[in-house]
A and B are shown apart, each in its own frame.
Chain A
């Protein structure tokens, strides 16, 4: 037998040609016959075209990918997984087109420590987005638009702009770990101060502003070398844990003579515990920013794979405040992926006292609007699909520091669109509230909601539609 193996086998016919073996006669060009039908389509659930492309990108870049906008994780539940169950026989609706519904919102008045709690005419305000991430025109427009409807804006981490302060009747001054341009006078000009321990898009990691947007003005305000890829700290420089933060909060109250509320903004990760600790630390308002929250720039993996959905975070946060007797004392603001008044109303029903919107407000300014098609194309994208905030080449002038792009934000028109968007959102909230029989948007409650999926019920503790039972809460 062994000797037989040493003898090459020979067919009793001539060796076939490679073309004949490949069955190329009559086949589709470029596709060898005999290969499974998945050859063209690809059916791997793991190695999708997107994941293959990701490997190619990582192989080319040698670092993680970076982008702006918001999560592309399709597993994230949305507000659409919840529906309202308006008044029918068990309760009485209000006249949706006629009767009034109170929208006044007070933040920071519950602790009794603050001389001037924030009074907003509507339960929505504009999220913290920095000058640097946004153009000065965009910041001013947000301020004017919010002011027109009795709402407010927030500085973000890049310091306070004079234009922004004058445009915003109410302005939250954000204190991030990086403390860019932290100024006592600005602190005292603010209507509230927000300590930031995280954001929904990238909890556990500091801010990021790529060099294209670190213009001379931005660099000067942040005391940074012009054009650097600014990566901010995530830990505050002057305190570490919650007990230290308690002392920090007292310092801020001393610096502002107990006039204005102290906010704390966190990315939603373990809100049941984080919110209880924050309340104990002595803040007046807690902002919980869900994983759907936006960002100007971030490692993509953080946007897509960190944090928990907003709808789940709100319920956990509210229960935490209930459990430690802080409901009514500490206000709760929800943020992250809120697109409409319907989404906002669901946040209020889940337990938020107010909501904060970022990406939606940028859309109102003109983000992704169908103009300047060539500039979208130059970025490799199109209106409705753009998420290139990180490049600093925003076609509509919102997330840029390039003067020729920034002027594309027409401040009066953009301001008016923001005002109308906030008005429309508020009308949507009151319409839903009245349908549920509420004379105040703050009377919306969990009982007004039903879940359309087991997951949504499990995430939120909202009863499943039909069976009226909570799934495992």
Chain B
């Protein structure tokens, strides 16, 4: 597989993405340079694509990822990997707000911190954050795991459905309708194996696994009679 260089600069994003898609379609790996933190780079890329951004990128990088392997040399703006279904996004710097928002599968790995609402409304997949996750991270996550190695800011995991937020390090405050539970040995093994695959293996972490307390799941029981009262 040869590497093709695509330059962003001040070119129209549509033109840049078209060039990226064309190079990927020919089976090339793509290196994107002069990124200038531009928005909407690498949207909806297919399985098998390999893409590296040199520098920082703006909003929605890797959005709707459908299986591509994407690496960002430095930081990403808001909503990187938004709604991704599969594939992998490696962010070597920091992530802005809503990284992995409503993602359904795949893996996002952030070496730095993640901003507020990391993994908001996620429906599956994993997010690994080597640093700290921001305010309201995991808000209404339906499924999937957020794994934070450097602690969590306030309102952590607020209003979870079926998602899990794993935190090693301090949590400033928990969100509503959450509880910290003791993970099973098998669950810890699964999380640590995922981390070990990323070169982050350790036996010394004290995990706080946050799940839904399920107090907001029902107005009443799932009972027709309850709704016939009104």
Which positions in A face B, CB cutoff 8 Å?
57, 60-61, 63, 65-67, 177-185, 187, 210-212, 222-225, 227-229, 231, 233, 237-239, 244, 247-248, 250-251, 253-255, 258, 300, 379-380, 388, 390-393
Residues of A within 8 A of B44 (CB): 184, 187, 254-255
Q: Do residues B228 and A391 form an inter-chain contact, with CB atoms below 8 A?
A: yes
Residues of B within 8 A of A187 (CB): 44, 64
Task: Assess whether B53 is interfacial by the CB under 8 Å rule.
Answer: no
Could you say which of A237, A239, A390 has the most chain B C-beta atoms within 10 Å of its C-beta?
A237
Q: Which residue of B59, B218, B219 is within 8 Å of A244 (Cβ)?
A: B59
Residues of A within 8 A of B14 (CB): 253-254, 258
Q: Do residues B121 and A225 form an inter-chain contact, with CB atoms below 8 A?
A: no
Residues of B in contact (CB 8 Å), total: 43
The B contact surface, by secondary structure, is loop
Question: A225 — nearest CB in chain B belongs to which residue?
Answer: B162
Given contacts A238-B60, A238-B79, A254-B17, contact A223 B142 (CB under 8 A): yes
Q: Do residues A247 and B60 form an inter-chain contact, with CB atoms below 8 A?
A: yes
Further pairs besides A210-B227, A233-B140, A237-B79: 4, Cβ < 8 Å:
A184-B44, A184-B85, A250-B40, A254-B14
17 pairs, A vs B, C-beta closer than 8 Å: A66-B227, A180-B123, A210-B227, A212-B224, A225-B161, A233-B140, A237-B79, A238-B79, A239-B79, A247-B39, A248-B60, A251-B60, A254-B40, A254-B43, A254-B44, A258-B14, A393-B228
Residues of B within 8 A of A225 (CB): 161-162, 217
Task: Assess whether B98 is interfacial by the CB under 8 Å rule.
Answer: yes
Residues of A within 8 A of B43 (CB): 251, 254-255
Task: Assess whether B120 is interfacial by the CB under 8 Å rule.
Answer: yes
Alpha-carbon distance between A184 and B220 when the two chains are bound, in angstroms: 35
Residues of B within 8 A of A229 (CB): 217-219
Residues of A within 8 A of B101 (CB): 179, 237-238
Indicate with 1 or 0, residue by residue over B24-46, a CB within 8 angstroms of chain A CB atoms: 00000000000000011001100
Q: Do residues A227 and B40 form an inter-chain contact, with CB atoms below 8 A?
A: no
Residues of B within 8 A of A184 (CB): 44, 64, 66, 83, 85
Q: Do residues A224 and B161 form an inter-chain contact, with CB atoms below 8 A?
A: yes
Q: How far is the CB of A190 from chain B (nearest CB, A)?
A: 13
Residues of A within 8 A of B123 (CB): 179-181, 223
Alpha-carbon distance between A185 and B14 when the two chains are bound, in angstroms: 20
